[in-house]
Structure 1
Amino acid sequence: MSAKVWLVGAGPGDPELLTLKAVRALNEADVVLIDDLVNEAVLEHCPQARIIAVGKRGGCRSTPQAFIHRLMLRYARQGKCVVRLKGGDPCIFGRGGEEAQWLRGHGVDVELVNGITAGLAGATQCDISLTLRGVARGVTLVTAHTQDDSELNWHALAQSGTTLVIYMGVAKLGDIRRQLLAGGLAADTPVAMIENASLPQQRECRSDLTAMQEDAHEFQLKSPAILVIGAVAACATDEMQAAALWKRGVGTQEIEQSA
Structure 2
Amino acid sequence: MSDRGGSRLDRMVHGFALRRWARAAESAAETDLSDLRDQRGRARALRSHIDKLLHVAEGRLALPAIGSTAIAKPHGTDWAWRPELWRGPLGVPGMSSVQSKAMLGREVTLFHDCAHSELTLRQLRNTREADLAPFGLRLDVFQFDGSYLSLAIDLPKDATEGLRKRHVIRMETIVEMEKPLELFARLNIKHGPNTEQIVREVPVSAEEVAVEFDLAYTKMNEKRVTGLWLDVIFEGPQMNQVILRDLTMTRFPRAEM
TM-score by length of 2: 0.27
Between Structure 1 and Structure 2, the one with more strand by share is 2
TM-score by length of 1: 0.27
Please identify which structure carries the higher helix content: 1
- For the pair shown, which has the larger CA radius of gyration, 1 or 2? 2
